[in-house]
A and B are shown apart, each in its own frame.
Chain A
Amino acid sequence: MIKRVIPFFTVLAVAVLASCQQSAKLPVYGSRDVEPGKTDTIYKTIPAFSFLNQDSVAFTQENLKGKIYVADFFFTSCSSICPVMHRNMKTIYDAYKGNPEIMFLSHTIDAKYDKPWRLKKYAQKLGVDDKQWQFVWGEKKDVYAIAEKDYLVAVQEDSTARDGFIHQGWLVLIDPDKRIRGAYDGTLPEQTAKLKDDIAVLMKEYAK
């Protein structure tokens, strides 16, 4: 009797496990709300912004319309986690290079030193030579506010830290509806690989 039941349970267990892994959609992060009198959920979205990119041209949310993008916060003179973050992010950039649906957006948190021309030089040295990966500069208060309130990434100036700043190495995945769909530790190759896969899942969701 027991022997006959074992295969059945094995099949069941495998089926249950398999169904767990096959999440067709990525979760939506952030607080949510419902407008009075309506039934649709209102998700947290990234608000409108305007920063200067590496070509000293204004870069706004309009430039990201209908696109999936990966956002992060860094500074060019950072010797701790930024190099490894961008090394990993570059592998994703290389994988989706030329794909008009995907963009990359790196914000500097060092407004004093990282002027756009410096960002341009940094981008070139990293091996980024097109507009698909934007490196943007903004006033300190604007960048810090959007990091902490909207992308949910902690950033802080700290004179006791090695390079004068402390910050988190999240790579944040944003969908075309401006919602956060994932956050990945950019210092870990496994998490970066997961981000690469999740971009494909998200593309499928928005494929028409």
Chain B
Amino acid sequence: MQNKHQTLKRRIIFLALPVIFLMMFFSCQSQEERDMMNYRSNGQSLYVSKCQNCHGANGEGLGQLAPPLTDTTSLRLRKQLLSCFIKNGLEGEITVNGKTYNEKMPAFPELTDMEIAQLIVYVTNTFGNKQGHYPYPQVTRDLESCR
């Protein structure tokens, strides 16, 4: 009887170990990483409702009508401009991944700075991009210098 009890105890400890390890792992995540995860998941639903029609479910773009969002260099180079593009729309020529696009992108003035930040975090950390967090005060700053 005593023996059986011991085995059970050992088994419980054995099962609990992975759970403890997982908890340790997650507690190691920094506040920034957790913020980023939250931004990204909100950004995803915003992307589906505002961007996906033209830019595609996999960020592949649409022919020469809408540029892809998979070219991480283009996104990185224009990171400070993305807020303005989303808030005010975009007109004129733009080169992405060596291809030229010249269609009008609609403006989304209804989006808040936070929502724009969430979109930027989603796009720049999906479709093969991995550019990290972009907190909303940065969007506020970016929007002040829109042309």
Contacts and interface: CB of A to CB of B under 8 A. Distances in A.
Interface size class of B (residues with CB under 8 A): 10 to 19
Interface of B: 52-54, 56, 62-66, 103-104, 106
Given A83-B65, A124-B64, A125-B63, A77 B53 contact: no
A22 to B, nearest CB: 32
B109 to A, nearest CB: 12
21 contacts: A77-B104, A79-B53, A79-B54, A79-B106, A80-B53, A83-B53, A83-B65, A83-B66, A84-B53, A87-B56, A87-B62, A90-B63, A122-B65, A125-B64, A125-B65, A125-B103, A126-B62, A126-B63, A126-B65, A127-B63, A163-B106
Contacts, number: 31
B138 to A, nearest CB: 26
Contacts of A83: 53-54, 62, 65-66
A141 interface: no
A127 B65 CA distance: 9
A86 B65 CA distance: 11
A125 B64 CA distance: 4
Contacts of B52: 84
Q: Which 10 pairs show the lowest CB-CB distances between chains A and B?
A: A125-B64, A79-B106, A127-B63, A83-B54, A126-B63, A84-B53, A83-B53, A125-B65, A125-B63, A83-B62
Nearest to A163: B106
A83 B106 CA distance: 13
B90 to A, nearest CB: 12
Interface size class of A (residues with CB under 8 A): 10 to 19
Contacts of B63: 90, 125-127
A126 B54 CA distance: 11
A87 B106 CA distance: 18
Contacts of B54: 79, 83
A81 B64 contact: no
Contacts of A124: 64
Find the residue from A77, A125, A163 having the highest chain B CB count within 10 A. A125
Interface in A73-123: 77, 79-81, 83-84, 86-87, 90, 122
Contacts of B62: 83, 86-87, 126
